Structure 1
Amino acid sequence: MLPRERTEMLEREILSPYAALSSRSKGRLAPEEQCDIRTDFQRDRDRIIHSKAFRRLKHKTQVFLSPEGDHYRTRLTHTLEVSQIARTIARALRLNEDLTEAIALGHDLGHTPFGHTGEAVLNEICPRGFRHNIQGLRVVEILEKDGKGLNLTWEVRDGILNHTSRDIAATVEGRLVSLADRVAYINHDIDDAIRAGIISVEDLPLNCVDILGDTHSRRINNMITDIIDNSADGCINMSQPVKDAMNQLREFMFGHVYLDPVAKGEEKKAQHVVKELYFYFLKHVDKLPDDMKLLLECTDISDVVCDYVAGMTDTYAIRMYKELFLPESWN
Structure 2
Amino acid sequence: MTIDSERLGFGVGERAAYACDPWRSRGRFLPEPSSATRSEFQRDRDRIVHSTAFRRLKHKTQVFIADDGDHFRTRLTHTIEVAQIARSLARALKLDEDLAEGIALVHDFGHTPFGHTGEDALGEMLQSHGGFDHNAQALRVVTRLEHRYAEFDGLNLTWETLEGLVKHNGPLTDADGKGIGGPLPHAVAEYNAEHDLDLAGFASLEAQAAAIADDIAYNTHDIDDGLRAGLLTHDMLKDVPFLAELLDAVYERYPDLDGERVTHEIMRRQITRMVEDVIGFAQARIEEERPHSVEAVRRSDRSFVRFSDRFQAIDREIKRFLYANLYRHPDVMRVREAAATIVRDLFARFMERPDLMETHFWAEGAKAMEEDERARRVADYLAGMTDTFAIDTHRRLFDRTPQLR
- TM-score, L = length of structure 2: 0.75
- Match of 1:202, SS? helix
1:79 matched residue in structure 2: 79
Query: In the alignment, is residue 148 of structure 1 matched against residue 153 of structure 2?
Result: yes
CA distance in 2, matches of 1:7, 1:317: 45
List gaps (5 residues or longer) in structure 1: none
Count of residues in correspondence between the two structures: 327
Q: Deviations over 1:227-285 (max 9, x none)?
A: 11221226213222222112211111011111111222211111111011111111112
- Match of 1:266, SS? helix
Q: CA deviation at 1:43?
A: 0.6
Query: In the alignment, is residue 185 of structure 1 matched against residue 187 of structure 2?
Result: no
2:117 matched residue in structure 1: 117
1:276 matched residue in structure 2: 345
2:325 matched residue in structure 1: 256
- Match of 2:101, SS? helix
Query: In the alignment, is residue 219 of structure 1 matched against residue 270 of structure 2?
Result: yes
- Higher mean Cα deviation, 187-196 or 62-71? 62-71
User: Against the structure 1 CA distance between its residues 149 and 264, is the aligned structure 2 distance closer, same or farther, given a 3 Å change threshold?
Assistant: same
2:395 to 304, 307, 322: 322
2:140 matched residue in structure 1: 138
Query: In the alignment, is residue 61 of structure 1 matched against residue 66 of structure 2?
Result: no
- Match of 1:151, SS? coil
1:160 to 142, 165, 169: 165
- Match of 1:14, SS? coil
- TM-score, L = length of structure 1: 0.91
Amino acid at match of 2:235: E
User: Against the structure 1 CA distance between its residues 92 and 244, is the aligned structure 2 distance closer, same or farther, given a 3 Å change threshold?
Assistant: same
Matches within 5 A, 1:46-57: 46-57=46-57
Q: Deviations over 1:165-208 (max 9, x none)?
A: 78685111001111110000010000000011111122113521
Q: CA deviation at 1:10?
A: 7.1
CA distance in 1, matches of 2:346, 2:220: 33
Q: CA deviation at 1:35?
A: 0.9
- Match of 1:300, SS? helix
Q: CA deviation at 1:301?
A: 1.4
Greater C-alpha Rg: 2
User: Against the structure 1 CA distance between its residues 323 and 27, is the aligned structure 2 distance closer, same or farther, given a 3 Å change threshold?
Assistant: same
User: Against the structure 1 CA distance between its residues 183 and 94, is the aligned structure 2 distance closer, same or farther, given a 3 Å change threshold?
Assistant: same
Tell me how large the CA RMSD over aligned residues is: 2.5
CA distance in 1, matches of 2:235, 2:124: 38
CA distance in 1, matches of 2:316, 2:131: 28
User: Against the structure 1 CA distance between its residues 258 and 322, is the aligned structure 2 distance closer, same or farther, given a 3 Å change threshold?
Assistant: same
Contact 1:4 1:39 in 2 (8 A): no
User: Against the structure 1 CA distance between its residues 125 and 247, is the aligned structure 2 distance closer, same or farther, given a 3 Å change threshold?
Assistant: same
User: Against the structure 1 CA distance between its residues 223 and 211, is the aligned structure 2 distance closer, same or farther, given a 3 Å change threshold?
Assistant: farther
1:209 matched residue in structure 2: 243
Contact 1:133 1:164 in 2 (8 A): no
User: Against the structure 1 CA distance between its residues 269 and 327, is the aligned structure 2 distance closer, same or farther, given a 3 Å change threshold?
Assistant: closer
Amino acid at match of 2:305: I
Contact 1:21 1:96 in 2 (8 A): yes
List gaps (5 residues or longer) in structure 2: 173-200, 251-265, 287-296, 298-303
Q: CA deviation at 1:220?
A: 0.4
User: Against the structure 1 CA distance between its residues 123 and 180, is the aligned structure 2 distance closer, same or farther, given a 3 Å change threshold?
Assistant: same
Amino acid at match of 2:154: G
Amino acid at match of 1:217: R
CA distance in 2, matches of 1:100, 1:43: 13
Work out the percentage of aligned pairs sharing the same amino acid.
Answer: 42
1:301 matched residue in structure 2: 374
Amino acid at match of 2:309: Q
Query: In the alignment, is residue 33 of structure 1 matched against residue 28 of structure 2?
Result: no
Q: CA deviation at 1:164?
A: 4.1
Q: CA deviation at 1:294?
A: 5.3
Contact 2:141 2:154 in 1 (8 A): yes
2:130 matched residue in structure 1: 128
User: Against the structure 1 CA distance between its residues 43 and 308, is the aligned structure 2 distance closer, same or farther, given a 3 Å change threshold?
Assistant: same
Amino acid at match of 1:183: I
